[in-house]
Amino acid sequence: MNISLDATLKGLENKINAGDFLKAYQQALRLRNQLLGVLHDQEEFGVSDGLKLADMLSDGNTESATVTLTIYEPLPSMKELTSALSLHWTDLIHAAIRQAANKGKLPRFVKALVWIEVTTPKGTNNRQLWDTSNRAINLIINNLKGIFFADDNLEHMAFGVAGRWGEEGKTVIQIRSFDAFPMRI
The pLDDT of 152-174, averaged and rounded, is 91
Task: State residue 106 phi and psi, 5-degree precision.
Answer: -75, 130
The proportion of the chain whose per-residue pLDDT surpasses 70, expressed as a percent, equals 61
Q: Which whole-number Å values give the CA distances from 96 to 11, 57, 61, 69, 131, in the listed order?
A: 37, 9, 8, 6, 25
Q: Which residue did the predictor score with more confidence, 105 or 6?
A: 105
Distance CA(142)–CA(90), nearest Å, equals: 9
Mean pLDDT of all residues belonging to the chain = 78
**Domain boundary assignment for the chain:** 54-180
Percent helix, percent strand, percent coil in the chain, to nearest 5? 45, 25, 35
Distance CA(57)–CA(173), nearest Å, equals: 14
Contact 178/114 with Cβ under 8 angstroms? no
Model confidence pLDDT, tens digit, residues 56-98: 666 676 777 899 999 988 898 888 888 888 888 998 899 899 8
Alpha helices in 16-145 (DSSP H): 18-44, 53-56, 83-103, 126-129, 137-144
Res. 101: pLDDT tops 80:
yes
Contact 155/111 with Cβ under 8 angstroms? yes
Q: Which whole-number Å values give the CA distances from 79 to 3, 138, 140, 172, in the listed order?
A: 30, 13, 16, 21
The region of weakest confidence among 2-16, 101-115, 167-181 is 2-16
Res. 48: pLDDT tops 70:
no
The pLDDT of 40-55, averaged and rounded, is 58
Q: Which residue did the predictor score with more confidence, 48 or 92?
A: 92
Domain 54-180: which CATH class?
A: alpha beta
